[in-house]
Amino acid sequence: MIKVYNTLTGNKEEFNTVHEGKVNIYVCGLTVQNYSHLGHIRSAINYDVIRRYLEYKGYDVTYIQNFTDINEKIIKRADEEGLSPDELAEKYRRAYLEDIRAMNIKKADIYCSATDHIKGIQEMVQTLIDKGFAYHTDGNVYFSVEKFNDYGKLSGRKLDEMEAGSRVAVSKDKKHPLDFALWKKVEDEEISWDSPWGKGWPGWHIECSVMSMKYLGNKFDIHGGGTDLIFPHHENEIAQAEAYSGEKPFVKYWLHNGTIDIKGEKMSKSLGNFFTTRELLAKFKPDVIRYYVLTKHYHSPIDFNLEDLKKARVSLGRLINTRRNLYNLLQKDTDNNSNNGFSYEKFVEVLKKKRRTFEEAMDDDFNSARAIGVIHELATEINKFINGSNFQLNETSRLLLKEADNLFTKLITILGLKFDYADNKADTELLNELIEYILNARKQAREKKDYDAADKIRDDLQKMGIEVNDTPHGVEWTIKKEEIYGG
Ligand SMILES: [Zn+2]
């Protein structure tokens, strides 16, 4: 029995789907205005693992994700890059798809974009006006939060309290300060759509209600997104969807992944303290980044630092070593067919038990951190088995090792890890170690006040396409060569 923490009820609940054997998932995607950063990729990894686990449990999963491709930010960024808003959105949509492929994240069944659903959006806005949940003033359409009795049920806020604490500037055409835009009037922009309320574009929240219901129906199983989207985005999605369809709940289980913080502050574009997925992929293997993310429960925030990512590389390395030893052993010839009295029964039990405890961890609100702990235990047991004093590679032990290898593969595949241990030596990790080694020599030169030598190292690295920056948090480096990013 799977249990999930539902933001809507504040409880861990038994997971029962709307339609038997089927799970419908919608996850809020990114605004395609720039390259994805670790915060986006964390979210994608978390829901990818949830999806993989549900599939492993036998569910038929449909997974939908959106791209927000029209708003003020897109227009501003398009201007900066000298592209049309369409071109900008397309550029970063493609970049995101490249990033998730590199990260071994399964593609959504459908990626949908706001600008492809303008008709559906206008239809929902009109219905909300007709039903008395929305009003139109001077080219803008607002949702009237006072008309929707359940407003605040997801975030656990009451409207009067929100109003008292509200710092939203009261706009004179809004009836209530928390009323939010469904349709925005746009006067001078080249990009706008005709509507019964004049030229404009949709508000942000409406696209997710329209697209999720279009592909998954009026009631579906899981809606995901970051904790920072609970209010107002997801609160507003509920208001729009339930007011529109008259059915509830719009979504049965609301799941929220934690943010990525740096020294306690949220990693975000606006704070300028973020790592793009590409910058990280230039330094770390996808498996390492994924492993690092999954060692934390999806709901918890991650206080990111590069040191922890390096530690994750070492920890993952232990698992990869076990797997490699297992693989190498299975390539060898069998010693003989005799049985020297070595006991195998215990090992069979160990394999069964590890599989069970892995499932228990994942059943408990997809606790990947505990699941990774179980894989480490499995690795320890395998090492103990093959290093046992009476161990012999015979037909029986070979079968058991194959079974252990299968289980290993099954469990890491649920977590989306690839363990590509067969790579040649000139791989990213060796390169990383070499760069760290060189930078350490530079550090020693600086400590001896030999600044000429230190500068020469930096300049030489620069010539090779490796940029070195001294920051208040230490030395950071990036590989600037295009081919690292796959062109
Ligand atoms: Zn959304």
What is the per-residue pLDDT across 62-93, written as a single tens digit (0 to 9) for each?
A: 999 999 999 999 999 999 999 999 999 999 99
Distance 48 CA to ligand 1 centre (A): 17
Q: Is pLDDT of 485 > 50?
A: no
Average pLDDT over residues 385-404: 87
Q: How far is the CA of 234 from the centre of ligand 1 (A)?
A: 7
Q: How far is the CA of 206 from the centre of ligand 1 (A)?
A: 8
Q: 69 C-alpha vs ligand 1 centroid, how far in Å?
A: 12
Distance of CA 426 from the midpoint of ligand 1 (Å): 42
Q: Which of 147, 136, 228, 216 is nearest to 174 (CA)?
A: 136
Please, which residues bridge with residue 137 across strands? 140
Tell me the average pLDDT across 396-421. 91
| 323 Cα to the center of ligand 1, angstroms | 40
Whole-angstrom Cα distance, residue 406 to residue 412? 10
Residue 436 confidence class, pLDDT cut points 50, 70, 90: confident
The model's confidence at residue 325, banded by pLDDT at 50, 70 and 90, is confident
The pLDDT of residue 482? 40
pLDDT at residue number 84: 94
pLDDT band at 61 (very low <50, low <70, confident <90, very high): very high
In the predicted model, is pLDDT for residue 475 greater than 70? yes
Confidence of residue 487 (pLDDT cuts 50, 70, 90): very low
Task: Give the Å distance between the CA of 450 and the centre of ligand 1.
Answer: 54
Q: What is the pLDDT of residue 478?
A: 72
pLDDT of 166: 62
Burial environment of residue 484 by CB neighbours within 10 A (0 to 12, 13 to 18, 19 or more): middle
222 alpha carbon – ligand 1 mean position (Å)? 13
Q: What is the pLDDT of residues 17-58, one digit of tens each?
A: 999 999 999 999 999 999 999 999 999 999 999 999 999 999
CA of 66 to the centre of ligand 1 (A): 7
In whole angstroms, what is the distance from residue 453 CA to residue 444 CA?
10
Residue 249, SS3 per DSSP? coil
**Å from CA of 236 to ligand 1 middle:** 10
Residues of the chain with pLDDT > 70, as a percent, come to 91
Average pLDDT, the chain: 90
C-alpha 27/C-alpha 195 separation (Å) is 28
118 alpha carbon – ligand 1 mean position (Å): 15
d(CA 182, CA 134): 8
Cα(10) to ligand 1 centroid in Å equals 20
pLDDT of residue 121: 98
Q: pLDDT band at 193, cuts 50/70/90?
A: very high
Structural contact between residues 218 and 125, judged by C-beta atoms closer than 8 angstroms: no
> Is the Cβ–Cβ distance between 350 and 381 less than 8 Å?
yes
| Dist. CA 352–CA 354, nearest whole Å | 6
Average pLDDT over residues 117-123: 98
Inter-residue contact 266 to 259 (CB < 8 Å): yes
Mean pLDDT, range 432-453, rounded to an integer: 90
The model carries a pTM of 0.85
How large is the average pLDDT for residues 259-268? 80
Expressed in angstroms and rounded, the spacing between residue 230 Cα and the centre of ligand 1 is 10
By the 8 A CB rule, do 5 and 255 touch?
A: yes
**Taking 70 as the threshold, does the pLDDT of residue 168 lie above it?**
no
**pLDDT value at position 263?**
80
Distance 58 CA to ligand 1 centre (A): 27
Q: What is the band of 483 on the pLDDT scale with cuts at 50, 70, 90?
A: very low
